[in-house]
Structure 1
Amino acid sequence: MSNIRVLDEKTAGKIAAGEVIERPAGVLKELLENAVDAGATSINIDIEGAGRELIRINDNGCGMDEEDLEQSVLRHATSKIRSFDDLTTLQTFGFRGEALYSVAAVSRMTLTSCTGEGAGHRLELHAGKVFSKSPAPAIKGTTVEIRDLFYNVPARLKFLKSDSYERACLLKVIEESALANLKVAYRVHVNGRTVYDLPAQSGPFEQAVIARAKAILGEEVAGSLLFKAFDEGKLNLFLSPADKLVTVRDMQYIFVNRRPIDSKTVQQAIYKAYQNVRPKDRHPAFLVYMTLNPADFDVNIHPQKRDIRFENENRVFGRIMNDAGEVIFGQSRPVDVRLEAPQMTLPPAAQEAAQKLLSPAAPTPMETFAAACAARPAQAFSPKPHFVIKETEDPAEYIARPEGEPSGTDVPSPSAPAPRASLPEETPSWYQGPYHYLGQLQRSYLLFENPQGLVVIDQHAAQERVLFEHYLDAFERRGVKVQKLLFPVHVDLPPSNAETLLSWAAWLKTAGFEVEPFSARTVLVRTMPHMIRFKEDDMKEFIVSLSQVVGDPSKSTETLKRNMVAMLACKKAIKAHDAISPAEAEGLLENMKKCKDGMHCPHGRPCIAQVDMKQLDKLFGR
């Protein structure tokens, strides 16, 4: 008896069909869900031409007989529901049923399937019309082969992005499916290269998730995740510890009954749990596995079934927030252990003044600073190890330019001052000299005396600002001098991140970084900006971070440019707890004076604070 039926028009009309296939990743998602619903324990995926030329899914699931095979490509055909009421008890990924119909309508599709009993059957369709039928080998399972996607609707091809971006989207779909279905093996080949070979996971759930996550998110991120199960395993949380937050939000996965979904309710609840320990430029990596009664949520509010609506959004928010807080603060390691300052007893009045001055909730003690001095790049630091920005005439160096730009373009040296009008040198209003260097506090803050009182400078934030303006100025003038690396640096990345990074390769070359593919999981870095001069480990760390912040190539390059330059400056700047000499400290202050905004680091944090004598006198009850 056939298991696949065509829904009546009344039932079909109540379902948000979402029949339009927007991109290859949407095709792949539908086919993977069908394979998992068919009980597959092994799925083989082949992709060519970023999915435009070929998407092939082979599974070892239950298969279809000849009648089911022919029914499966009809509109609204499904094996998963019989009426609209079945939606409240749905246990499978999909129910729309028109996935194969919709895909077949815009491609050349071949379906081969066998139930394991008797011969197999093959069905070939072009643009939704049956082209041929034939017998097939008696191998249990189903193979769906999609060729020439959108060949008959070329207008839709115009909306696809670069091959690198489309491949990244395809790999993201596979990664989500692999994290959701731990007992299924995934073997993925892209243009003949093996990208993933993920064995089926067995054993305890926690170990299975971490093993699969290490292959997808990387050893460092996955290995640091904290885990706790709630409500007898119906809620499983894997969260970054407070001291291991990452720079992007693309390592966040939510699964409801193994379905990858987007949920602002769940995401915001987790962020709320981190609210007192999370810097604004850092984000948690997390995997949330929820098991709910199908009647407790609605997946039919979005064509791609990405968004869901919980029956009680407030209760879900509160539950996730409280449980996430228990994971973070109940199991996480200390963020940073430092020596405590010696205790001292102050008079009550002085204690009250100190509390007002030092409380994080109190207004900053910094006086109101005006806008910084007129535009011009910062000069080089004193020639000390931490601060050297040196330009040399080296045949291995060249100026990074966009493709096609003449090599004879006159590009000024990045360290040369920008042309200025012959006016007296301007001084920013925050600069109230003369300054006398007093020393370092905890090897993190530089202390200066000036006529107003005490000046405290965050050494890392201050140098970030100087390097940021120095490099940004060179970048905008297309004057980034580039150093060819004698040996290219190999950087391992999750395949989806590698594809996304490579989609920006041409733009990155103008920024001084020449990157190219080496394997599905590895990129080669052949050049870097001369003024940066990363060590190999620093270069790898930067490229990994960069791969996480780049996104759709169609987005504005201005945002990416600022983020990338800020990241470069942060990675290269002197760190807290690094010792520097008095000459370096004085040189840093002088370079801050020449910045357009010497008051803030590229991330917006203050670089400098002024504590005047009145505040100090009040602190000691004078």
Structure 2
Amino acid sequence: MIHVLSDETINQIAAGEVIESPASVVKELVENALDAGSRKITVEITGGGLKLIRVSDDGSGMNCQDAKMCILRHATSKISKAQDLFHIVSKGFRGEALASIASISKIVVCTAKEGEPGTRLEIEKGLIIKESSCARMHGTTFEIRSLFYNVPARKKFQKTAAAISAEIFRIVMVMSLSHPEVQFELISNGRKAIKTLSSGLEERIEEQLGKEFAQGSFALDFKQGSMHFYGVLGAPTNTRNNKMGQYLFLNKRAVTCEPITEAVRDGYATRLDGKRHPIFLLHLDVPSDLVDVNVHPQKLQVRLRKEDLFRDTVKEAVKSALAVKTPIGEVSTFEPVEVNFEEVSLRFQETAEELEFELEEGEIEMMGQSGRFVFLIDPSFDGVVVMDAHAARYRVLFEDLLEKSDQKGNSQGLLIPFCVDLTPVESAMVLTHQEAIERLGFSLKAVGKDTFMVEAIPSFAEENAIKMMIVDMANGLQEFIGKYDYEKERQKKLVLIAARFASSKNMYSKEEARQLFHRLQQCQSPLHCPKGNPTTVYLNHDAIENLFAAHQETAKSAKK
């Protein structure tokens, strides 16, 4: 029998699309605060937001009637007719978020307009259970408690509080980059995690993404007709193996848009390694009728009405910015962090492990070496084996670390520990996944806001590469934000990054070359390094003869 669903059921179904986790709640409430014209937004969370989320702003606020209507499904002040969907300038417009949140949590709303008395509402299961007046300045405070209390099946599948907190950290950080003129503050379990002090985009980038992101970057400021593109592009040498360093804002809305991302890459042209991704932060201010944001309930994806125009314009803007270097500010000098060394145990650095393997007599022999390429003679093969020693060592170390990923890796203690400064999001990722990182052989200790002391490093690593390794791990781990059951993939990602930063060896003795080759043959995938590059090339007698024949033909043609 077909029947109409109740409003409560409809709201909970909608909540499944709009509200995936406490991070979704924070995103929706902060977007509402921005739409209200707020200049200061404070987010407080407890227990990763499952126990408490409080978002306070100094925006325009609501009168009593609007406060009661805001929790109704499809009630909004952003649009009034269908045509408005083609000219959306606000963050929200569907009128779904607050109704969805109200249906699965306990809410207290305190709001007031300028010069009017305040209103306080207590809401459960989408219904107002108590109404009273309150005293407050203009603005609104939403207090969300006991999220998913009436849908235990949803709560059961939520991630850990630490993982959710890291997701919220990233959302607030991204929001602060979309609106540098607004002050943001994030307090997690009573600890101030993020507090913005800057009011300009360049200062906000350095404040939230770190000096390394801004250092050596190219400023972009490009206007064409009604379009205005601005932001920063990372230097071609400052790239990553994923897209976590890419921030795109369309009319101040954080979005993902593959055509624009590809256009940015095209603008770099041959300056980039084919497998690396540029870092950038771009704001695109364009007429609202050129963009369709009514694509997904969470409004993360957009459609472009004139995709070719966007591609060509973005590509040209990037090419122009890279052609002329524009400094975006001097990087300040290093300021040491005050640390109480009396609490730190000092250890002497140990010698890094060498590859060891029992060799049999009469096996493969080394002929010589040119750069990273080692030439070998294998008695079982009629020809020459050319081994890329760097790629081979990368493969051997990667599989060795992956096999022992459930054990604590060998460490080398540092005589003088040193500190690494991270961005708030990077710091949150390290804290969330610290146990997994330390299984590689690290010993890390939080000694200040977003600062970690490195007391021990993996035995295979060089000390001067440690900071970059930790930063790459923190950025790589952001791929798992919002995902479930990622433990195995997480460890593989960490091992992949760690092995890439392993100490390199430039020259190999005959014995070392034989040991490396034998270890390589024991790997599950001996022919390629973890990035897919070949580790060995086998040139038999016919292949070598063909190479010389080809050169002879070329020489004859040149003489003619």
Which range, TM-score by smaller chain?
Answer: 0.7 to 0.9
Structure 2 counterpart of 1:279, one-letter code: D
Q: Which has the larger radius of gyration?
A: 1
Moved more, 107-116 or 94-103: 94-103
CA-to-aligned-CA distance 1:561-596 (integer Å, 9 cap, x gap): 444333323212327xx5x4x63x652354124312
Deviation, structure 1 residue 240? 1.6
Partner of 2:90: 92
Correspondence for 1:193: 191
Structure with higher helix content: 2
**Secondary structure of 1:231 counterpart:** strand
Partner residue of 1:374? none
1:502–1:515 Cα contact (<8 Å) kept:
no
1:34 to 22, 32, 43: 32
Aligned residues: 508
Spell out the pairing of 1:472-491 with structure 2 (5 A cutoff): 472-475=402-405, 478=407, 480-482=409-411, 490-491=419-420
Would the alpha carbon gap of residues 72 and 320 (structure 1) be closer, same or farther in structure 2, given more than 3 Å must change?
A: same
Structure 2 counterpart SS, 1:224:
coil
Question: Is 2:239 the partner of 1:245?
Answer: yes
Q: Cα RMSD (Å) of the superposition? A: 3.6
Q: How does 1:40-189 map to 2 (within 5 A)?
A: 40-189=38-187
- C-alpha contact 1:111 1:142 (8 A) present in aligned 2: yes
Q: Deviations over 1:242-271 (max 9, x none)?
A: 111123311211111111111111122223
State how far apart, in whole Å, the 1-side matches of 2:72 and 2:91 are.
19
C-alpha distance in 1 between matches for 2:512 and 2:366: 12
Shift of 1:469: 4.2
**Aligned equivalents of 2:471 and 2:440: distance in 1?**
16
2:504 aligned residue: 574
Tell me the TM-score normalised to structure 2 length: 0.80
Paired residue type of 2:284: M
Give runs of aligned pairs for residues 353-392 of structure 1, distance below 5 A. 389=353
Residue 361 of structure 2 is aligned to residue 436 of structure 1: no
Q: Is the 8 A contact 1:47 1:54 kept in 2?
A: yes
**1: CA distance, partners of 2:270 / 2:189:** 46
SS at the partner of 1:276? helix
Instruction: Name the CA distance, whole Å, in 2 between partners of 1:502 and 1:253.
Output: 23
1:493 pairs with one of 422, 440, 461: 422
- Contact 2:42 2:56 survives alignment (8 Å): yes
* Deviation for aligned residue 1:39: 1.0
Kindly tell me: are residues 241 and 541 of structure 1, through their superposed partners in 2, closer, same or farther at Cα, counting changes over 3 Å? Answer: closer
Q: Distance in 2 between matches of 1:599 and 1:568?
A: 20
Identical-pair percentage = 29
Asked if 1:263 corresponds to 2:257, the answer is yes
> Structure 2 CA distance, aligned partners of 1:328 and 1:79?
42
Change in CA separation of 1:472 and 1:121 when aligned onto 2, cut-off 3 Å: closer
Alignment partner, residue 504 of structure 1: 433
Give the 3 Å change call, closer, same or farther, for CA 138–38 of structure 1 in structure 2.
same
SS at match of 1:150: coil
Which residue matches 1:220? 212
Deviation of the 1:212 alpha carbon: 0.9
CA shift in 2, pair 1:273/1:457, >3 Å: farther
Residue 276 (1) aligns with residue 263 (2): no
Query: After superposition, where does 1:397-436 map in structure 2 within 5 Å?
Result: 434-436=365-367
- Alpha-carbon distance change, 548 to 594 in structure 1, aligned in 2, over 3 angstroms: same
Q: How much has 1:514 moved relative to structure 2?
A: 5.3
What is residue 402 of structure 1 aligned with on the other side? none
Matches within 5 A, 1:523-562: 523=452, 528-529=457-458, 531-532=459-460, 534-535=462-463, 537-550=464-477, 551-552=479-480, 554-562=484-492
Tell me how far apart the structure 2 counterparts of residues 175 and 80 of structure 1 sit (CA, whole Å).
25
The answer for the alignment partner of 1:299 in structure 2 is: 293
Q: Take 1:162 and 1:484, find their aligned partners in 2: how far apart are those partners? A: 31
Q: Equivalents in 1 of 2:484, 2:454: separation in Å?
A: 23
TM (normalized to structure 1)?
0.72
CA contact (8 A) 1:185 1:198 kept: yes
The match for 1:600 is: 528
Q: For residues 425 and 218 of structure 1, do their structure 2 counterparts lie closer, same or farther at Cα, with a shift above 3 Å needed? A: farther
Q: Match for residue 320 of structure 1?
A: 314
Query: Residue 369 of structure 1 corresponds to which residue in structure 2?
Result: none
Residue 587 (1) aligns with residue 532 (2): no
The answer for unaligned runs of 5 or more in structure 2 is 1-6, 8-13, 328-348
SS of the residue aligned with 2:34? helix
**Does the 8 Å CA contact 1:179/1:213 hold for their aligned counterparts?**
yes
Give secondary structure in 1 for the equivalent of 2:474: helix
